[in-house]
Amino acid sequence: MGPDEFRRAGHQLVDYIADYQETVRDRPVTPDVRPGYMRRLVPAAPPERPEPWDDVMADIERVIMPGMSHWHSPQFHAYYPVGNSYPALLADMLSDALGCVGIAWASAPACTELEVIMMDWLAQLLQLPEQFMFSSGRGGGGVIQGSACESTLITLLAARSCKVNEFLRASGTVHNEHGDPVVTPDRAALLPKLVAFASDQAHSSVTRASLLSGLRIRTLPSDSNASLRGDTLTKAVEEELRAGNIPFYVLAALGTTASCAYDNLTELGPICERFGLWLHIDAAYAGAACVCPEFRHIIDGIEHATSFNFNPHKFLLTNLDCSALWVRRSRDLTDVFEVNALFLKTPFSEMPSYRHWAIQLSRRFRALKLWFVMRLYGADGLRAHIRRQVKLAKEFEALVRGDDRFEVAAPVTLGLVCFRLKKYGNMINDHLLARINGARRIHMVPAMLPGETYVLRFVVCSRYTESRDVQFAWSEVQKHTDELLSSAEVLGRGKMLWSSVRAASIGLRLFHSWHSV
């Protein structure tokens, strides 16, 4: 493909993308295919000779679209939003064309410098404490990660290193020329004693981080509002200390996966400071709402945090992948991940070498999409988007409350409504969701709240969602509820114990695995 054909194909594909975006509401929201459907549509071996672009273009509809769940459809109400906007799409086009690798400032100065500035811009929009900003000159700063999962793992590893080094310094262990303890048997002996803490409502990526790091993460019970409280943390920390273990890390969830609940940061923060614990805040979904002054209270207590993370690629109109992580002290990351092979060494620069801030070395020019989105929407446009999504969720909440058969099962604070049939058990609610999703006109997923309460989750996901889509979704819920409750067979089954939650557990596992992406 030469430049002339690229121009022609590019125009054609951009037109296709724009048409798809503007007509996505007309497509069935989920696919009607079986696993392996594509095998019969795609040859078993790659072509020996080049194929014409027009054939590739035609196969988008023939091969790809039949297997697509349309996450940006206004009838898609599952999981949490995936950011998407024309400015971000354009930025990714440019990023792919430039093709730079942001290993260090010297490898792509614009890539590093724009990321530094964009992370400060975002921090200002959220009114983060100045110690998290590069511009403060206090040693903190931000970095774009691929997902909140990565941020959890990275901060867990950094916290481990900080706590072990703290113990070894106190014990007079031998240090290297940089003042860091060398790897010794004493260091290895400390690792099994380390213990981190997270709520039972925390994302499943916490469990994955434990598996990958080999560190123990103790799950703590949340209260009736699905919130981790200070007295629960204090009790657990003191128990571990009495057992001779070393508490070192707490993950506080703001906007939990199941119900968008909030751990009590103002209680947890002082406790972490008292016991010398790294406090990481996972606000993957809810953090973006803090660009609106009326939602800034969500992160009250952030001044106690060691690190803070949210995903612009969820609620802030920015395409995957773009997860924003800030740390109070950047050296806490770089001391863990810094490896300087000869080919990576560059002259000293006051700019960060972002390869020392993450697991991967090769980094795309992801800051471009934040630059495009923030400039082309402006802060006012971003706030208007979030307020519109919250307003639509409140509209759905009012519809639920207006039907005596249903109850709202958790406070509606942002774009999520958890609801259920209140006179029937988990089995009937699970069956209702299966009927709704089976019709493929709207799509939702379930969650399990404290007390083994099964709920349906309605999330405003698409930037195209309007009041008519909320009304349509509610009409689908009512239609399938009427049919379900008129079925003697189903009502009879509803009187049985809910002994099997296979379908629900599968959906929940998929849901929890996705949320921190």
Q: 32, 65, 96: which is the final residue of a domain?
A: 96
Beta strands 194-199 and 216-220: pairing type? parallel
Q: What is the CATH number of the domain that holds 77?
A: 1.20.1340.10
Query: pLDDT by residue (tens digit) across 400-450?
Result: 999 999 999 999 999 999 999 998 889 999 999 999 999 999 999 999 998
pLDDT, one tens digit for every residue, the chain (517 residues): 999 999 999 999 999 999 999 999 999 999 999 999 999 999 999 999 999 999 999 999 999 999 999 999 999 999 999 999 999 999 999 999 999 888 878 788 999 999 999 999 999 999 999 999 999 888 899 999 999 889 999 999 999 989 988 888 877 665 555 555 555 556 778 889 999 999 999 888 888 888 888 889 999 999 989 999 999 999 999 999 999 999 999 999 999 999 999 999 999 999 999 999 999 999 999 999 999 999 999 999 999 999 999 999 999 999 999 999 999 999 888 887 776 666 666 665 678 888 888 888 788 899 999 999 999 999 999 999 999 999 999 999 999 999 999 999 999 999 999 999 998 889 999 999 999 999 999 999 999 998 889 999 999 999 999 999 999 999 999 999 999 998 745 555 544 444 444 444 444 544 444 444 5
Instruction: Report how far Cα 298 is from the mean position of its chain's Cα atoms.
Output: 16
Residue 212 counted as domain residue: no
Residue 198 counted as domain residue: no
Counted domains in the chain: 3
Please state the φ and ψ torsions of residue 326, each to the nearest 5 degrees.
-115, 145
Q: 306, 341, 364: which is the final residue of a domain?
A: 364
Residue 75, domain extent:
3-96
pLDDT at 209: 85
The continuous run of DSSP H or E covering 474 comes out as helix 467-485
pLDDT at 376: 97
Residues 447 and 488 placed together within one structural domain of the fold: yes
Residues 428 and 285 placed together within one structural domain of the fold: no
Question: What is the distance between the alpha carbons of residues 112 and 125, in angstroms, rounded to a whole number?
Answer: 20
Collect contacts of 10-15 with beta carbons under 8 A, ≥24 apart.
Answer: 12/57, 13/57
pLDDT at 348: 59
Contacts of 253 (CB under 8 A, 6+ apart): 198, 199, 201, 202, 203, 228, 261, 262, 263, 282, 283
Percent above pLDDT 90 for the chain? 72
Residue 494 counted as domain residue: yes
pLDDT at 208: 85
Residues 401 and 356 placed together within one structural domain of the fold: no
Q: 96, 127, 142: which is the final residue of a domain?
A: 96
Residues 325 and 453 placed together within one structural domain of the fold: no
Q: What is the CATH number of the domain that holds 112?
A: 3.40.640.10
List, as one string, the DSSP characters of 197-220.
Answer: EEETTS-THHHHHHHHHT-EEEEE
Question: What is the distance between the alpha carbons of residues 313 and 80, in angstroms, rounded to a whole number?
Answer: 10
pLDDT at 345: 67
| Cβ 426 vs Cβ 401: under 8 Å | no
Residues 81 and 108 placed together within one structural domain of the fold: no
Residues 431 and 341 placed together within one structural domain of the fold: no
0.85 surpassed by pTM: yes
Residues 225 and 359 placed together within one structural domain of the fold: yes
Query: pLDDT by residue (tens digit) across 45-80?
Result: 999 999 999 999 999 999 999 999 999 999 999 999
Residue 57 counted as domain residue: yes
